[in-house]
């Protein structure tokens, strides 16, 4: 569902952050994307999301050549991808409920059609008591879970998460990881960028993509 062929990326006139990257992500697969800070994990996720264009090489998403897509097609493809950003990107003037429901609201769906689903998901991520709270009063871990719920509400075919356990204690990190595993079992491909080696060691069935010096190494 994602294919990179000899992809390179440089920012401006700088050196190449990513060099000659090739890989394929199969449907219903689970992979960690790791490497030291600054290795290019966020950059790679942004390429998949089409918020950056490669300076070299070929990328396809759901079988479509990304370089050939128009604005509407990009929007349509993005709706099939759930994203958990490192900085959450919650809207402070909306409640937790409204933030999570937002992707459905902007699609023009009516509140009564999705309310039970949103409430159930919020309970599932452990935010049942914070449904009407605004992000500024949530803890880092609660914001993280709200951001995860918002990514999952659209039932994405592909989930990208950038350091999704960066703000939570090890117990909650394991719970969140199990949640991603469950999602994966129900059919979603998952890519998790993290530098938390201890966490990955507890899930050694997952594939690992390791970035270093602009190159990608793949371990099954
Ligand atoms: P990681 O997520 O692994 O920490 P990033 O993808 O954020 O790595 O960054 C990789 C490299 O690219 C870093 O050296 C970073 O400073 C640089 N970089 C990231 N975004 C930009 C940008 N918008 N403009 C210039 N350099 C950038
Ligand atoms: P998007 O296009 O996906 O909305 P943004 O342009 O907001 O993404 O930024 C993507 C990421 O790149 C952010 O996490 C931001 O902090 C990081 N970034 C932007 N510029 C730099 C830079 N010069 N060095 C390192 N990271 C950067």
Ligand nearest to the CA of 193: 1
Checking if the pLDDT of 162 tops 90, the result is: yes
Choice from 18, 42, 166 to test ligand 2 binding pocket (greatest atom count within 8 A of CB): 42
Task: Output the residue whose Cα is nearest ligand 2's atom 4.
Answer: 51
- Interval 144-153: pLDDT, tens: 999 999 999 9
Residue 20: left (phi > 0), alpha (psi -120 to 50), or beta?
A: left
Nearest alpha carbon to residue 49 among 10, 84, 6, 99: 84
Nearest alpha carbon to residue 33 among 175, 173, 179, 164: 164
Its ipTM equals: 0.73
> What pLDDT shows up at residue 185?
92
Residue 163: left (phi > 0), alpha (psi -120 to 50), or beta?
A: left
What distance in angstroms lies between residue 17's CA and the mean position of ligand 2's atoms? 13
- Interval 89-140: pLDDT, tens: 999 999 999 999 999 999 899 999 999 999 999 998 899 999 999 999 999 9
> What pLDDT shows up at residue 178?
87
- Give this prediction's pTM: 0.87
CA distance 33 to 41: 7
Cross-strand pairs, 2: 25, 61
């Amino acid at each position: 569902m994602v294919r990179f062929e000899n992809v390179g990326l440089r920012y401006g006139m700088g050196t190449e952050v990513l060099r000659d990257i090739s890989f394929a992500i199969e449907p219903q697969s689970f992979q960690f994307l790791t490497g030291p800070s600054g290795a290019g994990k966020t950059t790679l996720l942004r390429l998949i999301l089409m918020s950056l264009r490669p300076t070299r090489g070929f990328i396809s998403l759901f079988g479509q050549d990304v370089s050939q897509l128009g604005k509407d097609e990009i929007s349509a493809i993005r709706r099939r991808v759930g994203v958990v950003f490192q900085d959450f990107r919650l809207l402070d003037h909306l409640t937790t409920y409204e933030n999570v429901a937002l992707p459905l609201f902007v699609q023009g769906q009516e509140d009564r059609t999705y309310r039970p689903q949103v409430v159930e998901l919020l309970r599932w991520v452990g935010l049942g008591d914070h449904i009407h709270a605004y992000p500024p009063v949530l803890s880092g871990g609660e914001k993280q879970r709200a951001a995860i719920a918002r990514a999952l509400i659209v039932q994405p075919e592909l989930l990208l998460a950038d350091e999704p356990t960066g703000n939570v204690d090890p117990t909650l990190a394991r719970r969140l990881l199990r949640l991603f595993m469950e999602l994966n079992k129900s059919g979603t491909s998952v890519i998790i960028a993290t530098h938390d080696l201890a966490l990955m060691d507890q899930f050694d069935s997952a594939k690992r993509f390791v970035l270093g010096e602009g190159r990608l190494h793949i371990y099954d």
